[in-house]
């Protein structure tokens, strides 16, 4: 009992020193209030998104059930639009296909990739109101010389949410609830092995559901599990100016709110950033590849709090704009569970990356940004 009292007293004293510190306590309390307000807004937004998704899904299900029960004949115009709207799910060049409809019989004409022909015909045959599909498609095996088949993105048809990289809000919520129920069942299970299996499955499902909010992909870094986040933005500024500002990371703390300090020493850069619940995370990094106005690649050095590697590429995108592509792969200190919790708290790496890159874009386009509570001008940094 005395040990517990001592630990509790020590924790309470440490918390009081942290929050009531005369030098930094005011800033810490203000930051905590901001994080609480932000978390509240995040919850309200998530509830709104989930409610709308549930409403739309229920309306779609009710409409599909009604069509199945009534089995009414639809007009040729309506059926034609239904088919056109579904073509984009099955083929990479839907605009190359002509659609005609007459009394439920749909005629398809035009060039199509040979690998997509069967999938398109089969998919259109299941559209509500279609009685038959007249296949007049010209299968092309070598599309290099067919202008209508240039570009495009491969489509595999409708895919279950659970098999996609990003889950819909309803799928995510149901998966999270199921994961928590599995954990609860595992804790009450009489068989130890079965209980552990239930808990492991529940934690994995909950983490997967929570992790998709951050749009992070599960990858590897140096052969070990890691997470990868990506961000692309278009900056209305010359590529030379964009590259010049990115090449000065020691200026980032002036306008990026999540970066506290950056210093260069012996060819390395040492970073101190804001982590979950206001904690500080530090690492050292070294540049592994540098191509002026084109590419910067880096990776963390040993003894860093977070092991990571990343690249940022620059390319002109027309009209004087510059396309910036950022990719960051990292191993979070708490593993995938730690990433999921940070994401749920609104302090995940993707959210921080989005916030700071928005300030980076604003500084280059408008010439000013707000950092550390005061405006910063681009001329002061570049």
Looking at residue 371, what is its pLDDT? 64
Selected from 3.40.50.300, 3.20.20.140, 3.30.530.20, 2.60.40.10, the CATH number assigned to the domain covering 215-380 reads 3.30.530.20
What is the rounded average pLDDT of the residues 23-48? 71
33-47, 255-269, 319-333: segment of lowest average pLDDT: 33-47
- Tokens standing for 368? 């000013």
Q: How confident is the model at residue 296 (pLDDT cuts 50, 70, 90)?
A: very high
Distance CA 18, CA 342 (A): 21
| Residues contacting residue 308 through CB under 8 Å, at least 6 positions apart | 221, 226, 283, 299, 300, 328, 329, 330, 331
Q: Which residue has the higher pLDDT, 36 or 108?
A: 108
The pLDDT tens digits of the residues spanning 222-234 come to: 666 677 888 899 9
Looking at residue 314, what is its pLDDT? 95
pTM over 0.75: no
Distance CA 256, CA 245 (A): 12
44-48, 65-69, 166-170, 363-367: segment of lowest average pLDDT: 65-69
Domain boundaries, the chain: 2-68, 76-149, 161-202, 215-380
CB 186, CB 198: distance < 8 Å: yes
Residue 375 pairs in a beta bridge with 370
Looking at residue 91, what is its pLDDT? 86
Q: How confident is the model at residue 236 (pLDDT cuts 50, 70, 90)?
A: very high
Q: Would the pLDDT of 352 be above 60?
A: yes
CB 204, CB 337: distance < 8 Å: no
Class for the domain spanning 76-149: alpha beta
């Amino acid at each position: 009992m005395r040990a517990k009292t001592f630990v509790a007293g020590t924790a309470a004293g440490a918390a009081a020193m942290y929050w009531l510190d005369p030098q930094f306590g005011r800033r810490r309390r203000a930051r905590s209030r901001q994080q609480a307000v932000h978390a509240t807004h995040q919850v309200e937004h998530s509830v709104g998104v989930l409610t709308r998704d549930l409403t739309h899904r229920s309306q779609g299900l009710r409409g599909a059930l009604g069509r199945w029960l009534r089995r009414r004949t639809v007009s040729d115009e309506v059926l034609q639009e239904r088919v056109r709207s579904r073509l984009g799910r099955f083929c990479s060049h839907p605009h190359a296909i002509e659609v005609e409809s007459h009394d439920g019989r749909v005629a398809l004409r035009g060039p199509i990739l040979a690998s997509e022909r069967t999938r398109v015909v089969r998919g259109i045959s299941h559209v509500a109101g279609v009685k038959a599909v007249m296949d007049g498609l010209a299968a092309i095996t070598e599309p290099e010389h067919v202008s209508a088949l240039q570009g495009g993105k491969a489509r595999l048809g409708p895919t279950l949410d659970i098999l996609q990289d990003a889950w819909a809000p309803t799928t995510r919520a149901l998966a999270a609830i199921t994961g928590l129920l599995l954990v609860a069942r595992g804790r009450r299970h009489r068989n130890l092995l079965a209980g552990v299996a239930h808990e492991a499955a529940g934690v994995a499902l909950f983490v997967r559901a929570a992790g998709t909010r951050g749009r992070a992909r599960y990858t590897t870094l140096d052969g070990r599990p890691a997470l990868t986040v990506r961000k692309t933005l278009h900056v209305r500024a010359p590529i030379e100016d964009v590259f010049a500002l990115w090449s000065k990371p020691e200026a980032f703390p002036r306008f990026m709110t999540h970066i506290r300090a950056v210093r260069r020493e012996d060819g390395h850069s040492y970073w101190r950033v804001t982590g979950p619940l206001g904690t500080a995370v530090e690492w050292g990094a070294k540049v592994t590849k540098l191509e002026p106005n084109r590419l910067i690649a880096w990776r963390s050095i040993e003894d860093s709090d977070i092991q990571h590697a990343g690249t940022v590429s620059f390319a002109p995108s027309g009209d004087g704009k510059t396309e910036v592509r950022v990719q960051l792969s990292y191993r979070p200190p708490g593993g995938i569970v730690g990433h999921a919790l940070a994401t749920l708290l609104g302090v995940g790496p993707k959210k921080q990356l989005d916030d700071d890159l928005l300030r980076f874009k604003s500084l280059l386009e408008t010439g000013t940004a707000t950092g550390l509570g005061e405006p910063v001008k681009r001329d002061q940094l570049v």
